[in-house]
Structure 1
Amino acid sequence: MITEQSLVVDLKNEETRAKAFETLLHTYKERLYWHIRRIVLNHEDTDDILQNTFIKVFKNIDGFEGKSKLYSWLYRIATNEALSFLTSKSRKLGIQSQELQNKMVEDLKADSYFEGDEIQYKLQAAIATLPEKQKLVFNMKYFDDLKYQEISEILDTSVGGLKASYHLAVKKIEQYLKDS
């Protein structure tokens, strides 16, 4: 089992970079895919964003200082790429971000890659109503099972603030599901 530190060393070394990057892809591709997918809800967009994420990681690995865990850095890049994509998409369509969220949830019904049932669909609709930060915190805690400290590193926010955001998100989702 390769350690995170040795993987970073190998990624920064010209001679071992290609093999190390293969290991990085193998280790994190699926987790990052699902993290991005929960933000953008669409398979094709997720694939594009995931590819952009790994390109950015490859180009910027020399700048990784190791102040956080490697996967926290990867999650931060993936999160930023996904949020930038959504901002760009809402601008292109000339709609507000909440309208885009509603449209993305509606599009889930026709998405052949969405394997959820009606309950999963309602949960996604409820999550779409949350403010961006609450949505991210909820997804990372509920689906990715990350600890608050890990989420704190990824989002660069205090643990206390994250706990409050998660609590509010859960309450809003519960209310949405009761009302629908």
Structure 2
Amino acid sequence: MHSSDQEILQLIQSPLGKEMGFRKLIEKYQSRVYQVIRRMVLIHEDADDLTQSTFIKAFQHIGKFQGNSSLFTWLYRIATNETLTFLDKKKKRYFFSIDDHQEKMESYLDQSGSMDGDEIQKKLQKALLTLPEKQRLVFHMKYQDDLTYDAISEITGTSVGALKASYHHAVKKIEDFLKEE
């Protein structure tokens, strides 16, 4: 049985229960956080490392959690920021242009037996790689995670209007890509 966010927070705030509270937090949310990150980076090892970084950051900053959102929304925000920072650093470190990065990820999709899905799923993944990272993130949050624009706004700190525009542009680009394929 999973503990509620309130029970987890009470444990974490108790000096004797902090470690147990974090264990429960990880048990409850690790899989969902990993999936959020994996969709952005594709590569299991990177997603695994970023999931760990997300929970380390959460541990370091739990005192700043104000309870205005759910613990998952707060973790989602940390995971998103960690992932975007990672992707940005990776491109700079390897001097990837956007096209080189996209090509490398497409090659990974083609060669990877670890990715689930048939040809349609691969085509969708390739279409998603053509999107700028923030559009891809908004698309994942809205389409795949079925989050509301208000929830996405809370996570990303972006206005609902800008998110709707981003999602619309992402969908249009995906449709165009799939028509060309």
Same fold by TM-score greater than 0.5:
yes
One-letter amino acid matched to 2:60 = K
Q: 1:98 Cα shift?
A: 4.1
Over 3 Å counting, the alpha-carbon distance change for 1:101 and 1:12 in structure 2 is farther
- Contact 1:42–1:108 at 8 Å: present in 2 too? no
- Contact 1:90–1:96 at 8 Å: present in 2 too? yes
Q: How does 1:76-95 map to 2 (within 5 A)?
A: 76-95=77-96
Q: How does 1:6-85 map to 2 (within 5 A)?
A: 6-85=7-86
Q: 1:73 Cα shift?
A: 1.2
Over 3 Å counting, the alpha-carbon distance change for 1:107 and 1:85 in structure 2 is same
Is 1:152 equivalent to 2:157 in the alignment?
A: no
Structure 2 distance, partners of 1:98, 1:162, is: 24
Which ranges of 4 or more aligned residues in structure 1 deviate by more than 3 Å? none
1:127 equivalent in structure 2 = 128
2:143 equivalent in structure 1 = 142
- Contact 2:135–2:167 at 8 Å: present in 1 too? yes
- Contact 2:102–2:129 at 8 Å: present in 1 too? yes
Structure 2 distance, partners of 1:23, 1:36, is: 20
**Alignment partner of 2:116: what SS?**
coil
- Contact 1:72–1:154 at 8 Å: present in 2 too? yes
Structure 1 distance, partners of 2:103, 2:62, is: 36
What do you get for the CA RMSD once the two structures are aligned? Answer: 1.5
Listed as ranges, the gaps of 5+ residues in structure 1 are: none
Query: Which digits, 9 at most, give the CA deviation of each residue in 1:46-92, with x for residues without a partner?
Result: 00110111111111111212233221110111011111111111122
- Contact 1:140–1:151 at 8 Å: present in 2 too? yes
One-letter amino acid matched to 1:71 = F
Pairs aligned (count): 180
Query: Which digits, 9 at most, give the CA deviation of each residue in 1:89-116, with x for residues without a partner?
Result: 1122111244213311221222232122
1:175 equivalent in structure 2 = 176
TM-score between both structures, scaled by the size of structure 2: 0.92
Query: Which digits, 9 at most, give the CA deviation of each residue in 1:108-134, with x for residues without a partner?
Result: 222232122211111011111112221
Structure 1 distance, partners of 2:18, 2:99, is: 41
One-letter amino acid matched to 1:138 = F
2:163 equivalent in structure 1 = 162
Query: Which digits, 9 at most, give the CA deviation of each residue in 1:18-66, with x for residues without a partner?
Result: 2211221121111111110011011111001101111111111112122
